[in-house]
């Protein structure tokens, strides 16, 4: 009698599928470099990988935002820096023209063009824009935020000089502005709505053109509701611009530090994902070879037994 072929067939098919599946699995691991190919492989680790990848994506988004925000911050700081340097030079000229014992009316008139050019330059810088965006005018402002006389154009319902600004997230709980309130940045006089330093320059020009420069030492303007001598008012406006320049510099340093922190966290979670998800090539190759050997042995066994009969062993 013959050994029932169907029994051998079922047995060999069972182990053939098992060995073939193992071999295919190891082939996929080696080709993809991943040992977690499907969520069912390890539901817990798969869930952790998904969570870590979401965190990695968040840190990458933060750093893209930082690059964008840093450009805006650096542009704004650069503008304020040039304005501060210009105003410091103007201050020297103001002190010079106020020294009436040294300079007379005619000499003072030679400085009028200088003061007018300085005023125009400051206002142009206050209306600085990137593309179509006036960075000191708030959100989607189509017109320059300052007019040709240095007056800020925007007020809220309470009469305060303010604008709407846009913020962008650079870390968890940390937002940075992409555009700015020019009234604050340029020391706008809340009483007149004009850049305080520019208002002082205008007053000086008027006095020089009147022919009586002695008024320079006694003249006053009202700044934020308080009467001040011209040089004191000028210093107040200059100091406010310098203060916001320092604030922008601090923010630039902060976002740079945050970018380093975000990158370190991104690398940390990337390493965790790699440990959970990536295959160990040495181990995978070893298991692949074992699976291949077992599969080859199975095929050989099938070949040897497919024609097996008890009659061949009968004596």
What is the CATH number for 164? 1.20.1330.10
Task: For the beta carbon of residue 167, count every other beta carbon within 10 angstroms.
Answer: 12
* 304 within a domain of the structure (yes/no): yes
Instruction: Compute the average pLDDT of residues 129-136.
Output: 86
Are 13 and 105 within one domain?
Answer: no
Where is average pLDDT lowest: 141-155, 156-170, 173-187, 290-304?
Answer: 290-304
Are 94 and 165 within one domain?
Answer: yes
* 105 within a domain of the structure (yes/no): yes
Are 190 and 310 within one domain?
Answer: no
* pTM listed for this prediction: 0.76
Q: Report whether pLDDT(216) > 80.
A: yes
SS3 content of the chain, % helix, strand, coil (to 5): 65, 10, 25
**pLDDT per residue as tens digits for the range 11-67:** 555 555 665 666 566 666 666 667 666 666 677 777 888 899 899 999 999 999 999
Q: What is the pLDDT of residue 195?
A: 96
Cβ-contact 18, 291 below 8 angstroms? no
- Which of 151, 242, 277 lies closest to 202 in space, CA to CA? 151
Q: What is the pLDDT of residue 314?
A: 47
**For residues 278, 282, 287 and 288, what is the CA-based torsion angle, rounded to 10 degrees?**
90
Q: Report whether pLDDT(235) > 80.
A: yes
Are 74 and 223 within one domain?
Answer: yes
Q: Report whether pLDDT(169) > 80.
A: yes
Are 171 and 296 within one domain?
Answer: no
Band of residue 125 on the pLDDT scale cut at 50, 70, 90 = very high
Calculate what percentage of the chain has a pLDDT beyond 70: 73
For 65-99, give the DSSP string: HHHHHHHHHHHHHHHHHHHHHHHHHHHHHHHHHH-
Are 97 and 27 within one domain?
Answer: no
Task: Say how far residue 265 (Cα) sits from the centre of its chain.
Answer: 16
Pairing of strands 129-130, 133-134: antiparallel
Q: Report whether pLDDT(234) > 60.
A: yes
Are 164 and 292 within one domain?
Answer: no
Its domain, for residue 294, covers 1-33+283-315
Are 146 and 190 within one domain?
Answer: yes
Q: What is the pLDDT of residue 97?
A: 87
Instruction: Compute the average pLDDT of residues 191-205.
Output: 95
Instruction: Compute the average pLDDT of residues 148-174.
Output: 87
Q: What is the pLDDT of residue 69?
A: 92
- Number of independent structural domains in the chain: 2
Are 266 and 288 within one domain?
Answer: no
Q: Report whether pLDDT(221) > 90.
A: yes
Q: What is the pLDDT of residue 148?
A: 92
Q: What is the pLDDT of residue 12?
A: 59
Are 245 and 299 within one domain?
Answer: no
Are 220 and 309 within one domain?
Answer: no
Q: Report whether pLDDT(80) > 80.
A: yes
* 206 within a domain of the structure (yes/no): yes
Q: 225 CB contacts (<8 Å, ≥6 apart)?
A: 190, 191
Task: For the beta carbon of residue 136, count every other beta carbon within 10 angstroms.
Answer: 27
Structure tokens at 210: 């009147």
Q: Report whether pLDDT(310) > 70.
A: no
Q: Report whether pLDDT(311) > 60.
A: no
Band of residue 1 on the pLDDT scale cut at 50, 70, 90 = very low
Assign 3-class secondary structure to 138-182. Answer: CCCCCCCCECCCCEECCECCCCCECCCCCEEEEECCEEEECCCEH
Instruction: Compute the average pLDDT of residues 174-198.
Output: 93
Q: What is the pLDDT of residue 9?
A: 54
Task: Give dist(CA 108, CA 208) in Å, integer.
Answer: 6
Are 91 and 116 within one domain?
Answer: yes
- Which of 178, 136, 129 lies closest to 153 in space, CA to CA? 136
Task: Give dist(CA 136, CA 138) in Å, integer.
Answer: 6
């Amino acid at each position: 009698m013959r050994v029932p072929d169907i029994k051998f067939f079922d047995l060999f098919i069972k182990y053939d599928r098992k060995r073939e599946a193992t071999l295919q699995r190891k082939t996929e691991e080696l080709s993809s470099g991943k040992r977690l190919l499907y969520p069912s492989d390890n539901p817990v680790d798969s869930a952790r990988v998904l969570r870590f990848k979401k965190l990695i994506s968040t840190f990458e988004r933060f750093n893209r935002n930082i690059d964008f925000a840093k450009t805006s911050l650096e542009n704004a700081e650069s503008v304020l820096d040039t304005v501060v340097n210009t105003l410091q030079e103007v201050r020297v000229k103001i002190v010079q023209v106020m020294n009436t014992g040294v300079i007379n009316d005619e000499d003072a008139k030679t400085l009028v063009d200088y003061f007018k050019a300085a005023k125009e330059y400051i206002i142009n810088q206050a209306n600085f824009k990137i593309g179509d965006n006036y960075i000191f005018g708030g959100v989607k402002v189509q017109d320059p935020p300052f007019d040709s006389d240095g007056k800020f154009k925007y007020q809220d319902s309470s009469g305060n000089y303010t604008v709407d600004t846009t913020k962008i997230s650079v870390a968890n709980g940390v937002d940075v502005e992409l555009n700015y309130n020019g009234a604050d940045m340029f020391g706008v006089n809340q009483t007149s709505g004009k850049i305080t330093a520019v208002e002082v320059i205008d007053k000086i020009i008027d006095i020089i053109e009147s022919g009586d420069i002695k008024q320079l030492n006694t003249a006053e303007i009202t700044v934020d509701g308080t009467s001040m001598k011209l040089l004191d008012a000028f210093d107040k406006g200059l100091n406010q611009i310098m203060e916001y320049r320092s604030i922008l510099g601090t923010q630039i340093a902060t976002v740079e530090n945050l970018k380093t922190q975000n990158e370190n966290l991104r690398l940390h979670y990337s390493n965790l994902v790699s440990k959970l998800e990536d295959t160990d090539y040495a181990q995978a190759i070893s298991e692949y070879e074992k699976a291949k050997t077992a599969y080859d042995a199975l095929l050989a066994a099938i070949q040897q037994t497919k024609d097996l009969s008890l009659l061949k062993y009968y004596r």
